[in-house]
């Protein structure tokens, strides 16, 4: 069976689990060997038949990378520095690290740094 992702020109993929959401950052190529990024938010929704995934996708092209990153960094910086300067955003990093350690313990592969 062929991998449909490769057929669509997918080059690189990164998954970020965030509570009930998962974000996918996928680098894809066009037929003309140009590259673009898709950012997909996937949310698990429960219904009477079980569950479905609700997905939202953004296509980001190379000519917009710098503007997008600048706006994202400025916006996140404003929230962190101006709106919530006393909030400990690093707690989320620690929670993610603890979750990874728990998964490694469950799999019997505790990693020692």
Q: What is the mean pLDDT of the chain?
A: 84
pLDDT tens column, 52-102 = 889 999 999 999 999 999 999 999 999 999 999 999 988 888 766 666 666
The sheet carrying 21-29 orders its strands as 10-18, 21-29, 35-47, 50-61
- Domains of the chain, start order: 4-106 (3.10.450.700)
Q: For the chain, where are the E strands, in sequence order?
A: 10-18, 21-29, 35-47, 50-61
């Amino acid at each position: 069976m062929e991998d449909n992702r490769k057929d669509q020109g997918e080059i690189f993929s990164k998954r970020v689990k965030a509570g009930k959401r998962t974000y996918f950052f996928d680098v894809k190529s066009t037929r003309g060997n140009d590259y673009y990024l898709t950012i997909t938010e996937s949310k698990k929704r429960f219904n009477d038949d079980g569950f479905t995934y609700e997905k939202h996708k953004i296509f980001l092209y190379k000519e917009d990378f710098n503007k997008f990153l600048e706006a994202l960094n400025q916006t996140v910086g404003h929230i962190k520095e101006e709106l919530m300067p006393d909030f400990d955003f690093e707690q989320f990093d620690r929670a993610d690290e603890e979750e990874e350690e728990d998964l490694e313990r469950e799999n019997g592969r505790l990693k020692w740094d």
